[in-house]
Structure 1
Amino acid sequence: MTTRNVAAVDLGAESGRIILGRFNGKKLLLEEVHRFANRPVTIHGHRFWNIPGLWDETLIGLRKARQRAGSLDSIGVDTWGVDYGLVDRNGFLLGLPFQYRDQRTSTIMEQVCALIPRERIYAHTGIQFLPFNTLFQLTAHEYQQPGALAQAHRLLMIPDLFHNWLSGSMVSERTNASTTQCWDAVAGVWDVDLLTQLGLPTSMLPLVVEPGTPLGPVLAEWQDDLGSALVIAPATHDTGSAIAAAPVSSPDSWGYISSGTWSLVGVELPQPLISPGVLAANYTNEGGVFGTTRFLKNVMGLWLLQECQRQWARDGHTLDYETLSTDVAGVPAFAALVDPDDPRFLAPMNMPATMNAYLQEHGQEPLQAPAAFARCILESLVLRYCEVFRQMGILTGKDIKGVHVLGGGARNAWLNQWLANALGIPVIAGPHEATAYGNALMQLVGLGDLQSLAEVRTVAQRTATRLFEPQAAQHEAWQEAAGQFRALTGTH
């Protein structure tokens, strides 16, 4: 077949990438053509995404992709979940989108649950209760700016907003809509009754389409730059795209970690799993490709290390991952542990100081060396992952025999080997750019080159991965540390 050229716009909470994908009918090869930082802005004490800046960088990258390829068959955008933009009938923003770490939602979840029982919300949405979920953001928006939501023609999630500016479409895509806690996971529609009970308008809610849906050609205003490429909605939630790219060979016995700023730890199910026990454990049911469900829990992830690096840089000590990884070997194992999901780590002003305060509160010595912080974070994450997989096995009845680590965390050999040692099962790391890979694969579905999840996964299996086999001699030490971690976090 003629080689397909697709451009995957992959916007993460830390950086954005424009990836050119070339598909020859069997193998999909990726080439990064543009990368840029994603730096939120603070205005009047609130955090916003610099959406105009991200859009400008996206166009720069798409122009480069078209120049590199000669022509583009399609373009698709994925981003993080839960955040949104409000637009008028012409697609113009009615204000900068808030960043999910903004403090405006700090008490909203409790207020909403005082009005509507958690059991009712979960029975319909199946979504983990987190303070930044779109449901709570919208409630905060209405409290802070009464009437602003009613003035919007459409609420568009961040990737939907970019698709609108590229093609004029005003739809949402299911994997991202499912993260909002405004979507009925069982009925497959917006939970209008829930929003109405909270006094939130529903006329702004867009039509929802499946991943792999063509949205239309690039608008005439961009065709000189981008040609006549078709805009296709991939799994627009970045984790949805990443899991689509999991190089899975055994469909029923694998777990995954989409590892980056956040760690999304889960399994793939054929339908949502909603029960009082699942609610009590606070797991989430998000939409996956081809009607699957991503049953998972959000874990704070490499954000802790990223924020430590930012603080060290502010203090005049810039340290990259490679240096930290080398120095980690010299730090004693399990010298310090934290609960990565402690709320204080969501948006601290100074992550190292916040971690040391946590350690001292829990009878541990404060840390000094950057490598000691790094080892503490990585070991704590591994122990948290193990706890999540343990609970998940009980809730789902699945016997997980291997874990796929996807995304940036797949590059961290310490993290992946320790996870294999702790779980006692193989860890398959890669692809590193799983989100962009899955984005491109679902564009190929929209172009008609791939027809099923099985075909998508067959192509995904041709990517490069690294296998980490468990080291039996290390397993007992990790089991002992798991007991310490459960005592620290109060889990059973």
Structure 2
Amino acid sequence: MSCAAVDLGASSGRVILGRVGGGELTTTEVARFDNKPIRVPRGADDDRLHWDILRLYADVLAGLRRASELGPLDGIGIDSWAVDYGLLDAGGELLGNPIHYRDARTDGVLDQVRAELGARRIYATTGIQFMQINTLIQLVAARDSPALASARRLLLIPDLLCYWLTGEFGAEVTNASTTQLLDVGQRRWARELIRDAGIDEALLPRLREPGETIGVLAGSARDQLGGHATPVVAVGSHDTASAIVAVPATGTRFGYISCGTWSLVGLELAAPVLSEASRAANFTNELGVDGTTRYLRNVMGLWLLQESLRTWQSRGQQPEVVELLSGAAEAAPFRSLIDPDDPRFLAPGDMPARIAEVCRETGQPVPADRYQLVRCILESLALAYRRTLRTACELADREVDVLHIVGGGSRNELLCRWTADACGIPVVAGPVEATALGNLLVQARAVGAAGVGDLTAMRALVAATQDVHEYRPGGDIPAWDAAARRWSAIFER
């Protein structure tokens, strides 16, 4: 089958054409485009950070046109980042550009929601870690806004784009589970919690499972894509859900990191972990494909490096990533460490200055150059991965023999090597295009491709057809253990 995967990340989007079935799994990138937020003034001293969703939709259509020009498509699937949404009026029209999860409107609202609804109650129902970016927190922050008062429908980003392609409303369950509005044990909306939060439950559409056909191309989208009634399939529309489908694992004793702007570190389980200890550790239970649970914790990820690069570039400096990594490898180890999840690192801005501030506050040397700063970021990420993976195993009563790193971060050899050393187990890096591959596999199964009947078969096909690299622990393990103890003493909360 020939399918098109639309994969939208927090900084860029792609359209990937794939051929799936009969032992074949190949991909061709037919379009890539930026995804840059826009600051819109709301007054002299205030602004909002928005997604440019209309331009994204235009880029998606242009990419799908290129894919369809290479031959008829058997399916289309869309995945994206989580938690953000568009609001529609009674006529189905978008009321405004979706607000970015990094916007400051949610500052301070997380504590308000925990006080109003009860942290234990929220977690026992939704199983989702507490973050100020969650949809629940965003909606409480917007309770008195004119847009929410006028809205009749709320659609998460992939569901909004699928609605524009097909005219069909719905909410795919893997992405819906990230909102903190879903009863994770029942796989349905947590309606009582939603009402008690002061949110109109009528805003939320019918839930879909991955693999359901949403509809076929309709209206102007069908006209622009050659007039074909191509099926649009609900894939694991949270990008991490699709990425975990394409982890080339055998058996169940594996951990994973979906590594990009964010790093999602965790385990695949048969059921959620809703214990008080899990809540206290701020772990999340997101739903996965084929009834699985993604038990994980968000770590800030390569956003720290990406934002540092943007800062340097804004000053007229153009450091090459290869050069930065080479210099970081030669810099003094464990000189300065940070907690990647420090809330100060969430918003766009001068990341090197923020890292320097944390180092001064904690009595550590401030990185003296770019190489030391990059080493600080990558060593701190490896230590955060170690803590998160070990805590997940303890809370879920699970042992792992191997850690899979998928996504763009799997190309960062230095990070992969240091993660193997820090965690003390082999790291298998790749595939880079795990999200697109998982997207393609789920929709190919839905439209009848052979050899992709379940997750085991899908992962076997990935392992047989994609490039991966293994990194075994081989560095100074006692030094990593000592650094982990020091890191915990400084930053554990």
TM-score normalised according to structure 1 size:
0.96
* Matching residue of 1:316: 316
User: Secondary structure in 1 aligned to 2:267?
Assistant: strand
Structure 2 residue 37 is matched with structure 1 residue 40: yes
**C-alpha displacement of 1:271:** 0.8
User: Secondary structure in 1 aligned to 2:203?
Assistant: coil
* Matching residue of 1:392: 392
* Matching residue of 2:56: 54
User: Secondary structure in 2 aligned to 1:77?
Assistant: strand
Are the aligned partners of 1:150 and 1:201 in contact in 2 as well (CA < 8 Å)? no
Structure-2 separation of matches of 1:61 and 1:187:
37
Deviations 1:158-204 (A, max 9, x none): 00000001111100100000000000001221111111112211111
Are the aligned partners of 1:232 and 1:446 in contact in 2 as well (CA < 8 Å)? yes
Deviations 1:365-424 (A, max 9, x none): 222321211111000000000011121121111111100001000000001111111122
Deviations 1:411-441 (A, max 9, x none): 0000111111112211000000111111111
Deviations 1:239-279 (A, max 9, x none): 0000011111122x100000000000000000111011111
Residue pairs, 1:40-439, within 5 angstroms = 40-44=37-41, 45-68=47-70, 70-143=71-144, 145-146=145-146, 148-226=147-225, 227-251=228-252, 253-439=253-439
**C-alpha displacement of 1:89:** 4.5
What residue identity is the alignment partner of 1:188?
A: R
Structure-2 separation of matches of 1:80 and 1:406:
16
User: Secondary structure in 2 aligned to 1:39?
Assistant: coil
Are the aligned partners of 1:105 and 1:136 in contact in 2 as well (CA < 8 Å)? yes
Are the aligned partners of 1:249 and 1:461 in contact in 2 as well (CA < 8 Å)? no
TM-score normalised according to structure 2 size:
0.96
Structure-2 separation of matches of 1:490 and 1:453:
36
What residue identity is the alignment partner of 1:110?
A: D
Are the aligned partners of 1:91 and 1:165 in contact in 2 as well (CA < 8 Å)? no
**C-alpha displacement of 1:490:** 2.5
User: Secondary structure in 2 aligned to 1:142?
Assistant: coil
**C-alpha displacement of 1:445:** 2.0
**C-alpha displacement of 1:454:** 2.1
Name which of structure 1's ranges 94-103 and 482-491 shifts more when overlaid on structure 2: 482-491
**C-alpha displacement of 1:24:** 4.0
Structure-1 separation of matches of 2:448 and 2:320:
42
Which of 479, 482, 485 is equivalent to 1:483?
485
User: Secondary structure in 2 aligned to 1:165?
Assistant: helix
* Matching residue of 1:460: 462
Structure-1 separation of matches of 2:223 and 2:115:
53
Structure-1 separation of matches of 2:200 and 2:34:
34
Q: Identity rate of aligned residues, in percent?
A: 46
Moved over 6 A (4+): none
What residue identity is the alignment partner of 2:151?
A: A
Name which of structure 1's ranges 234-243 and 325-334 shifts more when overlaid on structure 2: 325-334
**C-alpha displacement of 1:94:** 0.8
Which of 19, 32, 48 is equivalent to 1:22?
19
What residue identity is the alignment partner of 2:113?
A: V
Note the residue ranges of structure 1 that are not aligned, 5 or more in a row. Answer: none
Structure-2 separation of matches of 1:314 and 1:337:
25
Structure-1 separation of matches of 2:19 and 2:86:
32
Q: CA RMSD in A?
A: 1.2
Structure 2 residue 9 is matched with structure 1 residue 7: no
**C-alpha displacement of 1:88:** 2.8
Structure-2 separation of matches of 1:6 and 1:323:
37
Are the aligned partners of 1:149 and 1:201 in contact in 2 as well (CA < 8 Å)? no
User: Secondary structure in 2 aligned to 1:296?
Assistant: strand
User: Secondary structure in 1 aligned to 2:232?
Assistant: strand
**C-alpha displacement of 1:314:** 0.2
Structure-2 separation of matches of 1:206 and 1:451:
28
Structure-2 separation of matches of 1:320 and 1:46:
32
Are the aligned partners of 1:195 and 1:202 in contact in 2 as well (CA < 8 Å)? yes
Name which of structure 1's ranges 475-484 and 403-412 shifts more when overlaid on structure 2: 475-484
Structure-1 separation of matches of 2:492 and 2:235:
39
User: Secondary structure in 1 aligned to 2:99?
Assistant: coil
Deviations 1:50-106 (A, max 9, x none): 1011111111111111112x1111111000000000113443211110000000001
Structure-2 separation of matches of 1:326 and 1:104:
39
